[in-house]
Amino acid sequence: MSKIQLCLTLLLIALCPNIVIACDSLELLDGWVKKPLPGTKYTAAYFSIKNNSHGTQSINKFSSDQFKKVMMHSSSTNSEGITKMNPVSSLMLLPSQILEAKPGGIHLMLSVKNFELFNADQLISFSASCGKNSSWQFSLPMKSP
Ligand SMILES: [Cu+2]
């Protein structure tokens, strides 16, 4: 690639607002983890995340050492009032968008290792992955439901 071609390519990347880039500029506004009840295998985490960048951000995985598994789910209620949860493969945030994960909607489903390990107000560390070599760490407090 010539120098001019390289410059043009870089310029194009800089000018294009909808290119998906790394996990940059994600800001946690709020969030919490529901303290698992004794004997339960799953609990959930909720949050508000803002994309402060000029590019679209896409989170394709969450993980936490304090849980066996972290899954992205969305809940929906049909016309008969039955609520179903479906796996979500990625969460997309447009520039300046605030993504709200809340009860009855998008949430993180957490598979519990041992409920006795948790105390109320304990901080749970998460890592969000936005593609190759790009991750973002944040923590959420645990609260009793
Ligand atoms: Cu779920």
pLDDT in tens, 113-124: 987 788 888 999
The answer to whether residue 4 sits within a structural domain is no
Q: Give me the residues near ligand 1 (ion), CB cutoff below 5 Å.
A: 73, 85, 109
Name residue, tokens 């105390």: 119
Q: What is the pLDDT of residues 8-37, one digit of tens each?
A: 555 555 555 445 456 778 999 999 999 998
Predicted structure pTM score = 0.81
What is the residue range of 136's domain? 17-143
CATH number of the domain at 66, please: 2.60.40.1890
The answer to whether position 3 is within a domain reads no
Q: Could you say which DSSP state residue 45 is in?
A: E
Q: What sign does the dihedral 50-85-40-102 (CA atoms) show?
A: positive
Distances (CA, A) of 67 to 35, 41, 51, 58, 112: 12, 10, 26, 22, 5
Cα separation of 10 and 67, whole Å?
A: 41
Half-sphere exposure of 15 (CA within 13 A, CB side): 6
Amino acid 132: pLDDT? 74
CA 27 to chain centre: 11
C-alpha 13/C-alpha 136 separation (Å) is 22
Classify residue 131: in a domain, yes or no: yes
- Centre of ligand 1 from the C-alpha of residue 85, in Å: 5
Domain count, the chain: 1
How many Å lie between the centroid of ligand 1 and the Cα of residue 53? 28
